[in-house]
């Protein structure tokens, strides 16, 4: 694969870790450790709906995920209200600045909501470094469906093979590669499981992954 | 929907609860509470692979799921060795006997492995009540893809609309309904989240769900 001419970044967990949501779970009668099954089952159900040809946005699937854990809709707001206040990983700014210096546009490509993502980007002072926020709400299917990645490449005006996706989720890297993009895996404390194809690049920080992608 | 002429049952959790696996997690350095994120992320990744057109069997995705939680392959065997020893929910036998009395064949339809499922059926003394075990390994795609459910209907010699699926997972009920089957949701301590279409039948026990399906 050639060095990418544009790079899309997964948003939730890759740019903004969910850890600050953890103390919110005991407030609604769950455990702090319920953060992981909440987020994994949210994605499981969203992907299942996508397989069935049904599109539901992030907030609706997230609400149902909490409902299945016994949480009523108004209590679920306690968790949702935490999302717009997440803080970026400290390595995001240096990674994005490196790309700005090279003239490579940064796209935030999220399964989440566009407004929440724009709020996160702005509150974390990253707005001038992000050329575009794309939510799957524009497209009507969830990552890892190929259409999301090719849509992002079209939006950036480059061929899929000239675009990379950076994510801390193997399923997202796999989706990008299946759609013809280059994938960079950033470890956020997790290994890259062997069930997915290996990404072209992997590293321990966002700048490390970006540097390796630019060196392709 | 008419009363079903054959009923497929989801296997893992619906017939055989995973609770007995819980004490195995601390033995490999994880927490008992890691059972839920393990199983949810396993399905998340399997569905994502399916979206990308890649088929990997249960054991391979399960191993990768543990790998992403920091568990080496040999330690993962501690968890896998627990699967063939699971005990059926006590309401499974009376539910299956009710169907045997009505001459309605029971199919075990699993995303898991056929041999493990047959072992579970035999060790729990259910072999004479199950007409067939179907694993997705025969089909090459995961539930909730429609092909799995229509394949099971073909195997039972009935139209999809004459078949029901019983499961404790909303994503499985949704898949069955999207494929034209009737769905019965058995609560195993979890609510049916509102992101999925409502199942035709829901109940607190397997016999209750079976009775309602037969009364359609």
Q: Which two tokens stand for residue B76?
A: 């993962």
Contact A210, A98 (CB under 8 A): yes
Listing DSSP states for B187-200 in one string gives: PSS----TTSPPPS
For chain A, how are helix, strand and coil distributed in percent, rounded to 5? 50, 15, 35
Q: Cβ contacts (< 8 Å) between B51 and chain A: which residues?
A: 47, 50-51, 144-145, 175
Hey, which residues does A133 pair with through a beta bridge? A108
- What pLDDT is recorded for position B22? 97
**C-alpha angle A192/A193/A194, rounded to 5°?**
120
Best mutation target, A22, A34, A38, A40, to test chain B (most B CBs within 10 A): A40
pLDDT in tens, B11-51: 999 999 999 999 999 999 999 999 999 999 999 999 999 99
Cβ separation A64–B193 shorter than 8 A: yes
Contact A31, B34 (CB under 8 A): no
How many helices (H) and strands (E) would you count in chain B? Answer: 8, 6
Looking at the predicted complex, does its ipTM rise above 0.85? yes
Q: Cβ contacts (< 8 Å) between A145 and chain B: which residues?
A: 51
How far CA A146 is from CA of A98, A105, A111, A141, A171, in Å, comes to: 28, 21, 13, 9, 12
Model pTM above 0.90: yes
Interface of A with B (CB under 8 A): 31, 33-34, 36-37, 40-41, 43-45, 47-54, 56, 60-61, 63-65, 67-70, 144-146, 170-171, 174-175, 178, 190-197
pLDDT in tens, B75-99: 999 999 999 999 999 999 999 999 9
Measured between CA atoms, how close is B100 to chain A, in angstroms? 32
Task: Indicate the domain borders of chain A.
Answer: 6-17+86-214, 19-84
Q: Cβ contacts (< 8 Å) between A146 and chain B: which residues?
A: 52
pLDDT digit string (tens) for chain A, length 216 residues: 789 999 999 999 999 999 999 999 999 999 999 999 999 999 999 999 999 999 999 999 999 999 999 998 889 999 999 999 999 999 999 999 999 999 999 999 999 999 999 999 999 999 999 999 999 999 999 999 999 999 999 999 999 999 999 999 999 999 999 999 999 999 999 999 999 999 999 999 999 999 999 999
The answer for residues whose C-beta is within 8 angstroms of residue A175's C-beta and 6 or more apart is A143, A144, A145, A146, A148, A149, A165, B48, B51, B52
Cβ separation B175–A31 shorter than 8 A: no
Hey, which residues does B111 pair with through a beta bridge? none
Nearest residue to B186 (alpha-carbon basis) of B165, B162, B166, B160: B166
Nearest residue to A84 (alpha-carbon basis) of A20, A7, A133: A20
- What pLDDT is recorded for position A1? 79
CATH number at A19-84: 1.10.150.240
pLDDT class for B136, splitting at 50, 70, 90?
Answer: very high
d(CA A84, CA A72): 21
From the list A43, A60, A194, which residue is nearest B195 (CB)? Answer: A60
Size of interface A-B (CB pairs under 8 A): 137
Mean pLDDT of chain A: 97
Check: CATH 1.10.510.10 for B19-83?
A: no
Q: Put the strands of the sheet holding B182-186 in their side by side order.
A: B132-135, B106-110, B6-9, B163-167, B182-186, B201-203
Per-residue pLDDT for B155 more than 90?
Answer: yes
Measured between CA atoms, how close is A101 to chain B, in angstroms? 34
Listing DSSP states for B36-70 in one string gives: HHHHHHHHHHHHHHHHTT----HHHHHHHHHHHTT
Q: Cβ contacts (< 8 Å) between B71 and chain A: which residues?
A: none
Measured between CA atoms, how close is B196 to chain A, in angstroms? 7
Residues A57-75 as b or e (16 or more Cβ within 10 Å = b): bbeebbbbbbbbbebeeee
Cβ separation A65–B193 shorter than 8 A: yes
d(CA A183, CA A201): 7
Distance of CA B212 to the CA centre of its chain: 20
Mean pLDDT of chain B: 97
In words, the CATH class of domain B6-17+86-214 is: alpha beta
pLDDT in tens, B157-204: 999 999 999 999 999 999 999 999 999 999 999 999 999 999 999 999
Chain B residue nearest residue A141, CA to CA? B51
Q: Which two tokens stand for residue A177?
A: 């590669």
Per-residue pLDDT for B128 more than 90?
Answer: yes
Cβ separation A54–B174 shorter than 8 A: yes
Contact A203, A192 (CB under 8 A): no
- What pLDDT is recorded for position B1? 79
What sign results for the dihedral spanned by CA atoms B70, B45, A16, A107? positive
Nearest residue to B76 (alpha-carbon basis) of B87, B68, B88: B68
- Would you call the peptide bond into A144 cis, given omega within 30 degrees of 0 as the criterion? yes
């Amino acid at each position: 694969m050639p060095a990418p001419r544009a790079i899309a970044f997964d948003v939730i967990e890759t740019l903004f870790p969910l850890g600050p949501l953890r103390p919110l779970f005991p407030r609604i009668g769950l455990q702090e450790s319920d953060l992981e099954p909440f987020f994994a089952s949210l994605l499981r159900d969203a992907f299942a709906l996508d397989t069935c040809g049904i599109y539901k946005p992030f907030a609706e699937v997230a609400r149902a995920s909490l409902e299945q854990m016994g949480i009523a809709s108004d209590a679920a707001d306690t968790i949702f209200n935490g999302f717009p206040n997440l803080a970026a990983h400290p390595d995001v700014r240096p990674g994005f600045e490196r790309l700005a210096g090279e003239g490579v546009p940064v796209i935030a490509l999220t399964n989440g909501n566009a407004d929440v993502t724009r709020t996160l980007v702005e509150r974390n002072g990253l707005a001038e470094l992000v050329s575009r926020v794309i939510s799957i709400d524009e497209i009507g299917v969830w990552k890892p469906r190929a259409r999301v990645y090719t849509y992002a490449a079209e939006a950036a005006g480059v061929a899929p093979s000239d675009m990379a996706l950076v994510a801390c989720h193997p399923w997202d890297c796999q989706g990008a590669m299946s759609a013809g993009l280059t994938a960079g895996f950033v470890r956020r404390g997790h290994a890259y499981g062997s069930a997915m194809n290996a990404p072209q690049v992997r590293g321990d920080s966002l700048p490390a992954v970006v540097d390796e992608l630019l060196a392709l």
